[in-house]
């Protein structure tokens, strides 16, 4: 199935397209989305820091997912950590 991943925050400075389209099995988990996005970044984005993917959350429009959660939607977002002051 095709998963659309919307990019926010620091991801936008590296992205050549937003959102990103990923092809995954229909039984994919959030962790598999994370790894597919990592492979996509290695192939398409220059100097992208892997640690940003590791520190970011995968979410639906309603909830943040854990890596073992099965994907039931075709539109997700990756949310980088934020800080403020």
Q: In this predicted structure, what is the pLDDT of residue 46?
A: 86
84/51 Cα distance (integer angstroms): 20
66 within domain boundaries:
yes
Evaluate if residue 1 carries a pLDDT over 60. yes
Q: Tell me if the bond preceding 32 is cis, omega within 30° of 0.
A: no
- Do residues 70 and 27 make contact, with C-beta atoms less than 8 angstroms apart? yes
84 within domain boundaries:
no
- With cut-offs at 50, 70 and 90, classify the pLDDT of residue 83: low
Question: What pLDDT digit, counting tens, does each position of 23-79 carry?
Answer: 999 999 999 999 999 999 999 998 899 899 999 999 999 999 999 999 999 999 999
Is residue 44 within a helix (H) or strand (E), and if so which, with residue range? Answer: helix 30-44
The domain that contains 27 carries what CATH number?
Answer: 3.10.20.30
Q: In this predicted structure, what is the pLDDT of residue 84?
A: 57
Evaluate if residue 8 carries a pLDDT over 80. yes
36 within domain boundaries:
yes
85 within domain boundaries:
no
56 within domain boundaries:
yes
How many domains is the chain built from? 1
57 within domain boundaries:
yes
């Amino acid at each position: 199935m095709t998963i659309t991943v919307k990019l926010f925050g620091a991801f936008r400075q590296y992205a050549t397209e937003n959102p990103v389209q990923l092809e995954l099995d229909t039984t994919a988990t959030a962790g598999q989305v994370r790894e597919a996005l990592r492979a996509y970044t290695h192939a398409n984005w220059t100097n992208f820091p892997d640690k940003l993917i590791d520190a970011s959350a995968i979410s639906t429009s309603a909830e943040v997912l854990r890596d073992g959660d099965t994907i039931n939607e075709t539109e997700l977002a990756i949310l980088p950590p934020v800080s403020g002051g």
